Amino acid sequence: MKHLLSTLDLSRADAIRILDIAEEMAAVGTREVKKLPALRGRTVVNLFFEDSTRTRISFEAAAKRLSADVINFSAKGSSVSKGESLKDTAQTLQAIGADAVVIRHGASGAPARLAATDWIDAPVVNAGDGTHEHPTQALLDAFTLRNHWARVNGTSTLGTDLTGMKVAIVGDILHSRVARSNLWLLRTLGAEVTMVAPPTLLPHGSNVWPCAISYDLDATLAGGIDAVMMLRVQGERMHASFFPNTREYSRLWGFDDARLAALDAQGQTETIIMHPGPMNRGLEISSAAADSPRSTVLEQVSNGVAVRMAVLYLLLSGDQLRPSGL
């Protein structure tokens, strides 16, 4: 695996292999000494042009647990604020000997551009680009879903996929890179996906995506769902009015206390509630739902370190994955 830019690039076998290796990496986190010497002497650069807390810290923890050296780069306070281009920044990283670059950028396609050029000869990991993709978030979500699905069915996780699992992705689909990456990956792993949102928050062309589209969250939940993935309303990307007001959005498409109680009343005892974070409590999800036993929010954060350890290990160990479709 040379780069990780999109979940569309992963075959079923590739995805399962990453998740299986992540299982082994997760075990490292339970040890007294949470370290492996696998990447000793390697340098991983976190190149973040957008604000981030969870993703940057998660990648940093993953690299350090593999004994790699980590350089954190933030566009704020750097030469980027003086007008330095992505090309010049990449060539600077090449000159200091970066062995892998984890990049988050506000422009869709920036990681692919970096990977396709000769600006830097190092593996590139997409940590989120514009409204395009966020592949490691989708992988950690799939890891969380697979663990839950195995518990429900009383099976082992290793080597398994998500065949038969029903997942609803709810909210701001239009601006969400998480939704897109999850859709491609979950379909590859055999899950049935339903996108739930107001029509104004669904992207043009979503009608041909390999998923069901719903405008009614209550009807979707009543139909039986194994996991509900709530998305953050990304106000910073909205330059128009996509819904009348926050109260109406919360009432129609937020996971509130009433919908949490409805799951219990409908006997859906195994349905889990997910959120990639950060959460807007009281808007797309209530505090009761976010803090309930059904919530996997903190489990997702923990699983993110293991999944990113697996990705960095595969990229920097020279272990090759089969290209998708072969």
Please give the annotated binding residues, written as ranges: 54-55, 82, 104, 134, 137, 177, 232, 277-278
**Cα–Cα distance, 64 to 34 (Å, whole number):** 9
**Cα–Cα distance, 176 to 217 (Å, whole number):** 18
Q: Name 1's bridge partners.
A: none
As given in the structure block, the two tokens for residue 40 are 């000793």
**Cα–Cα distance, 137 to 123 (Å, whole number):** 18
Residue 35, CB-side half-sphere exposure with 13 Å CA sphere: 8
Binding-site sequence positions for carbamoyl phosphate? 54-55, 104, 134, 137, 277-278
Token look-up 């992963």 returns 10
**Cα–Cα distance, 204 to 194 (Å, whole number):** 16
What is the phi-psi region of residue 91: left when phi exceeds 0, alpha when psi lies from -120 to 50, beta otherwise? alpha
Binding-site sequence positions for L-aspartate? 82, 177, 232
Taking a C-beta distance cutoff of 8 angstroms, is the pair 46, 71 a contact?
A: yes
- Of 130, 234, 235, 116, whose CA–CA distance to 180 is shortest? 130
